[in-house]
Structure 1
Amino acid sequence: MRRVQASERQCPTRTEPEPPPPDGILWDVVGEVRQLLMLPSALTLQVAHPAVGAGVDEHSVFRTDPWGRGERSIQSFLLWVYGGEEGIAEGRRLRELHKNIQGVDAHGHRYHALTPAYYAWVHATGFPTYRHAQRYLGRRPYTDDEERQLYAEWLQVGRVLGIHDRDMPPTREEFWPYWRRMLAEEIEPTRVVRELTEVNTDIPPPPYGPRAVRWALRTVWPLVLPGFARFRRFMTVGLMPPDARDALGLSWTPRQERRLRRLGRVLARTLPLLPERLRFLPYARRARAARR
């Protein structure tokens, strides 16, 4: 019998985190085109934390390269859910990327991007945003069991990102006191929140497609941009959970609520009728097809 070395006894094999399961909720929602409407609300909630907002304000290229920054965020997000080993590698890459992001926030407090409470908040914002958006963009709200499953899968994604279990509430029921405390004590309308929730008409045209398409976009962009900016603000504020919206002092009228509900009903009824090649983003579509 082989003698077990002391080093083997002291260094157990490290197990990699398990990505969310292919038969779960996230595989059905994250890669669908509707998720593009949900992300701005979650991103705005992330930067409502003073430390996170300061890090994005000082280190992000969201002002100079908004389309590229958004595209990279979406691709990274898809990897966490659909990427398997690629997703785990992406989680490690992101932690490495954030190692040197530090500074001083608007209150004079020092921050580091990988401080567990800050890193966990960035991830935590996704769960209430998906839950709330489902009430508008889905055929029905999630049931209690589905919400618990969604939260459990969200914790799995957090592990892929290197978030320790001790830094996130372990259950859906324990999440809500944490959420209410963060809204009451931590988040605020930071400078970046104000920028993301105003009607911004300084956005450049999307730099995609053949040269002729880019030229056409540049030509019509001054006419399209005001409507696009108003729609972006409308969806960002509307799909934000109401208690978070109130905590940030964002206005939302009954008329806007009716418009959002009408839009949601149209999307919930029409999008499921489309073939998967039109409903899902390319990376998610390929992962789902490979799984089948």
Structure 2
Amino acid sequence: MSRRDVPPVPPPPGGVLWSLAGDVRMLLTLPAALTLQVAHPAVGAGVDEHSVFRTDPWGRGERSLRSLQLWVYGGERAAEEGRRLRELHKTIQGTDATGRRYHALTPAYYAWVHATGYPVYAHAQQYIGRPFTDAQHRALYAEWLRVGRILGLHDRDMPQTIEEFWPYYRKVLADEIGTNAVVEELLATDRPVPAPDRGPLPLRLLLRALWPVLFPPLARFRRFVTIGFMPPDAREAIGLEWSDAQERTLRRLGRAVRLLVPLLPDRLRYLPLARRARAEFRCSAARGAGSR
């Protein structure tokens, strides 16, 4: 069997990414990663022209979150999800704001979407978790490469070490990244977003009634965490301002989250797919220990 025929292997149970990706704290970091992705003109154009993020933001968010969880906790379903995503992106093409033709699966563009996860995770961890050791940084990056293979990227399209990653990342920031219509829309606090349409009917009706009151502070909070959990060099490349006062507020938020979330029961601390995978892993480990 050739290497091409071998299915990609998800990140290992019990690894660094395994402990991060399903923790509810990571929900705070996803807007930063998404905004950094679409700050690339080709990715931004693809989202602008082909995504339903304006008409179905909650459905799109739910599907994206489930997909991300499958990459890490899906086991054999991880590779299947990667194939589904590639199939979905085959028809996404057009011309970006620079006049350049793009296709969603062009390795350089598809690799950037994948690459943004690592620096955002690493930056956010300084606030909402314990800063990574050098060994954890290297383990996280190696596990993130596994995610890239699940998405269908080849090793030649991804920096293979942290030492290779940072020059690549800084070059993309310098040469490609900037603001655009999608970035501005994701950061806006004055553009309407429909009320959530998921969950039990009574809850949906209540949210719909309260949405005019709830949405403005939620929009401001979304903008705050989007910019705050974005690495400073990425903020600078996009042209986003961040004050010392905002930094102090973010650190206070991080301390509260860092203290409170570990106290939550698993059913509240971990997202459903992660919770089930973690429980199955514990049971499997217990059976293995019992058979020795």
State the TM-score bracket (shorter-chain normalisation).
Answer: over 0.9
Q: Distance in 2 between matches of 1:200 and 1:146?
A: 40
* CA distances 1:61-86 after superposition (whole Å, capped 9, x unpaired): 00000000000000000000000111
Q: Distance in 2 between matches of 1:82 and 1:36?
A: 16
Letter in 1 for 2:186: L
Extract unaligned runs of 5+ from structure 1. Answer: 1-7
Contact 1:42 / 1:240 at 8 angstroms: preserved in 2? Answer: yes
- Alpha-carbon distance, 1:278 to partner: 1.0
Contact 1:79 / 1:87 at 8 angstroms: preserved in 2? Answer: yes
Which residue is 1:83 aligned to? 74
* Deviating more after overlay: 63-72 vs 203-212: 203-212
Distance 1:200 1:82, change over 3 A: farther
Which residue is 1:136 aligned to? 127
Instruction: Say which SS state the counterpart of residue 24 (structure 2) adopts.
Output: coil
Which residue is 1:3 aligned to? none
Distance 1:147 1:214, change over 3 A: same
Letter in 2 for 1:58: E
Which residue is 2:185 aligned to? 195
Identity %: 66
Q: Distance in 2 between matches of 1:172 and 1:142?
A: 14
Q: Does 1:215 align with 2:205?
A: yes
Instruction: Say which SS state the counterpart of residue 249 (structure 2) adopts.
Output: helix
**TM-score (norm. length: structure 2):** 0.94
Which residue is 1:92 aligned to? 83
Which residue is 2:23 aligned to? 32
Which residue is 1:124 aligned to? 115
Which residue is 1:106 aligned to? 97
Which residue is 1:164 aligned to? 154
Extract unaligned runs of 5+ from structure 2. Answer: 283-292
Considering fraction of residues, name the structure with more helix: 2
- Alpha-carbon distance, 1:245 to partner: 0.2
- Whose Rg is larger? 1
Letter in 2 for 1:195: E
Q: Distance in 2 between matches of 1:242 and 1:134?
A: 14
Runs of 4+ in structure 1 off by over 3 angstroms are: none
Letter in 1 for 2:196: P
- Alpha-carbon distance, 1:197 to partner: 1.5
Which residue is 2:61 aligned to? 70
Q: Distance in 2 between matches of 1:27 and 1:280?
A: 11
- Alpha-carbon distance, 1:261 to partner: 0.2
Which residue is 2:42 aligned to? 51
Letter in 2 for 1:170: Q
- Alpha-carbon distance, 1:12 to partner: 7.8
* CA distances 1:244-275 after superposition (whole Å, capped 9, x unpaired): 00111101111111000001001101111111
